[in-house]
Amino acid sequence: MRKTSGLIFLALLAGLVAYYFYPEPKPEGTTIDKLIVLKSERKLLAFSNGKLKKTYTISLGRNPKGDKQYEGDSRTPEGSYTINDKNPNSGYHKNLGVSYPDSEDIRQAKMLGKPAGGAIKIHGLRNGTGFVGKFHRLMDWTQGCMAVTNEEVDELYSSVPLGTPILIEP
């Protein structure tokens, strides 16, 4: 029984190591001109000239179901936005800013008597924790942003220009 348990443990460990180090394809030399986030699938799709170039697995806000309603609800917004900022010196490796909130987001938050919030980003891992890598995907942990690995945010940072549309779907 001990021998079987040891073999199962080693197989599991080998699987985790393979997952961590298995390389994923990169859309090198491509300009991404459209992003689509499928929240329910935890996917970010990157397109160039109408062709899917890469699918990223993401983590979302800790309360991922439903549209962001106000600052502090830990939800990721839903709707049509644009990439409106890039920060190479983020507290989360690098980030791309999303144009949330729009006028409708602000109106809805005011109806609740709360601020809409802002600072929604596509970002990497908190500085100093990049070693977590793909394992960050095991849970939703952001305040409402979309998180990818540091290597993935590097790819997006270099291939997604300001003004790129991003559609965030439920």
Q: What is the DSSP string of the chain?
A: -HHHHHHHHHHHHHHHHHHHH------TT----EEEEEGGGTEEEEEETTEEEEEEE-B-BSS-SS---STTS-PPP-EEEEEEEEEEEETTEEEEEE----HHHHHHHHHTTS------EEE-PPTT-GGGGGGGGGS--BSS-EE--HHHHHHHHHH--TT-EEEEE-
CA distance 7 to 116: 52
The token pair that represents 16 in the structure block: 């985790």
Enumerate the active-site residues.
Answer: 123, 145
CA distance 67 to 169: 9
